[in-house]
Structure 1
Amino acid sequence: AWVSALNPSVIEAGDPYSAGQGALEAGQRVGAPVVGFCHSDPAALAALHFGEWAKKPVEKRWAKVFSQFDRVVSPSRFIARRLEEAGITNIVIRPLGVEVDTFHPDRRDRDWLLKRTGLPKDARLLCFAGRPAKEKNVDVLIDAVQKLGDPYYLILVGAGQGMPAEDRVIALDYEKDPKAVARIVASADAFVHANDKEPFGLIVLEAMACGRPVVGVNSGGVAETVDDRVGQLAERANADDYAAAIEALFERDIEALGAAARIKTVEQFAWPRVFEELGMLYAEVSGCPQFAMPTPDIRLTG
């Protein structure tokens, strides 16, 4: 009811369930178009955690809700294809954005990170920050680093919680302050991410904004933001392929790759640019040209 009281020109729902149903009801009440943002693939997650039998029922419910929106925003072609497979047609691809001032190369302090972790100066510091979730394939990262051996080390921010101690792996506590996360990520040598079904991978963009090259997997949303100009992609999410990709990255100029990653992120994924593209979508669905007002020029800083 309170959404209806605002008399909105357009409503965006961040998920298709409680918030989505409320948004659809409010949209019908006031005659406003409703946009649904698809942030995940719950059917794939259900299959991963409960078995393939759980995939179809979840996908059916997912499709039923999303089919009611006037537009469905997908952050990647990967998720757009999953929506299409579920029978959704009114899809627009719009990436998420990153706080390029918070996640910035100026936060780099490698000596501080070495001191905090007790590692030697010649260490090659790989970092992953995220939830300790099964789909993140943290085990692939750990196995790859153990396979590589000296001088590689893996720093897990949050993702190592509850895990037994592992050789060459340093588990740091979850950090809720984005600036603290940015300092750790910027101070590592490279960022690693092995989820091959990642819907988008915002933390990958944040690492790139910090001026760090990324090792990902050649599938899922990460493969749409990481290419050989800003990092390295493993062919598959297994320890052998991933270890080979890490080695290949360090045979290149990682500082040049990191600088290119920063430029790409600022030019394509800074929030003002992302909001401008979303505004054009809102203008289209609502008929209100004010949504398409241009944002100030985005300047590359650092």
Structure 2
Amino acid sequence: MIAPPWFELPPRGYGGIESVVADLVDQLAARGHEVTLVGAGRHRTAATRFVPVFDDPPSARLGTPAPEVIHAAGAAAALDGLDVDIVHDHTLAGPLLARGRDVPTVVTMHGPVDGEQGEYFARLGETVDVVAISDAQRRLNPGINWVGRVHNAIDVSSFPFQPDKDDYLLWLGRFSPDKGAHLAIDAARKAGRWIVLAGKCSEPAEKAYFESEIAPRLGEDVEYVGEADASFKRQLLAGAAALAFPVQWEEPFGMVMIEAMACGTPVVALRRGSVPEVVDHGVSGLIVDDYAGFADALRTADGLDPLRCRQQAQRRFDLPVMAAGYERVYRALVEGSRDLQEITADTPGQRRSAGRAG
């Protein structure tokens, strides 16, 4: 298992991919698999072996090429001395080395599949077997060598269930126009509701967006509380009357949606990307086709049953579901099969489909 180099696993704050990888490692170990994890920092998972390429994660250099390349070289060196059945790579540069391996390399597509990143993975061809994190993501680029789809998951039991909510709405994420924090503020004001904002704002683009679109909108009914660590995030999610998710791009998954559901908090989201796969409209949230109706949905979302939100998260997005999905992918590839059925719980209103897209 090759994790990105940027944060320790599990991450103490921001780090969606790192959280997924750490949870998957722990689940696979609990299911009896021997897992070698290549990462950075301290050994904090249940992996059988841990190979730290960086003693200190290069978080401040997030997005620069050198740490990625060094990390890929370190992972290749670690694999030279190991007898493994399969490699699961979550990095950007690492899959370039898959061509020289005798064992299959699985890559989870955590990000967008259009633009240069999509072209990169398409050009890798059959040297890697790519897992989508949503059907919506896979449909956007049929030229990638998809082998299946496994929805992301969380440890639902680690999120507090709170049936009695406070009166605030919540926006939680990374400060980017794609995440729509400014739209969440405007809709909350239109709905006459107080909204709390919590999110990552450390990179130059994030700071510029915050200064131009968020800071001028702050006021008595809009509170910014900074970036939330794991504990504070759970507190915010559990108390919120609803999570505002006015996403402005084809979001491939959106972890915060299932985190809110686990706390019994409904999600109000625009119909973009994976939203219809994650949110069961009228049960775990409200899906809005047009932003014009977003404020009305925020007014009414707290009428949904918190217990049913929690139950949806447990049934469809708990860690054992994800682990079983990846376990099936691994086994099929090791045995030489590529005729994979969909491997997570059914999406409401959709059928399972067989085989690989494209």
2:326 maps to what in 1? 278
2:89 maps to what in 1? 13
Please state if 1:186 is matched with 2:227.
Answer: no
2:258 maps to what in 1? 205
1-structure distance, mates of 2:136, 2:296: 24
Per-residue Cα deviation, 1:81-109 (whole angstroms, up to 9, x for no partner): 0121xx12433111011111221215x78
| Pairs within 5 Å for 1:78-93 | 78-84=136-142, 87-93=143-149
Decide whether aligned partners of structure 1 residues 110 and 90 sit closer, same or farther in structure 2, where only a CA change above 3 A counts: closer
- Unaligned stretches of 5+ in structure 2? 1-76, 202-209, 337-358
1:268 maps to what in 2? 316
Of residues 106, 109, 112 in structure 2, which corresponds to 1:41?
Answer: 112
Aligned-pair CA distance for 1:138: 1.2
Of residues 210, 225, 232 in structure 1, which corresponds to 2:286?
Answer: 232
Q: Does the 8 Å CA contact 2:218/2:224 hold for their aligned counterparts?
A: no
1-structure distance, mates of 2:200, 2:268: 17
Per-residue Cα deviation, 1:121-171 (whole angstroms, up to 9, x for no partner): xxx31112111112101121111112222xx01111126865315242111
2:276 maps to what in 1? 223
Q: Does the 8 Å CA contact 1:105/1:186 hold for their aligned counterparts?
A: yes
Question: Could you say which structure has the higher helix fraction?
Answer: 1
1-structure distance, mates of 2:140, 2:283: 27
1-structure distance, mates of 2:295, 2:126: 44
Query: 2:158 aligns to what SS in structure 1?
Result: coil
2-structure distance, mates of 1:245, 1:225: 17
Paired residues, number: 247
| Pairs within 5 Å for 1:157-172 | 157-158=198-199, 162=211, 163-164=214-215, 165-167=217-219, 168-172=221-225
2:103 maps to what in 1? 32
1-structure distance, mates of 2:328, 2:117: 32
Two-structure CA RMSD over aligned residues (Å): 2.3
Aligned-pair CA distance for 1:244: 2.2
Per-residue Cα deviation, 1:177-208 (whole angstroms, up to 9, x for no partner): x1221111101111111114211011110110
2-structure distance, mates of 1:273, 1:32: 25
Of residues 145, 161, 168 in structure 2, which corresponds to 1:105?
Answer: 161
After TM superposition, the score normalised by the length of structure 1 is 0.75
1:63 maps to what in 2? 122
2:353 maps to what in 1? none
The percentage of counterpart residues that share the same residue type is 23
2:169 maps to what in 1? 126
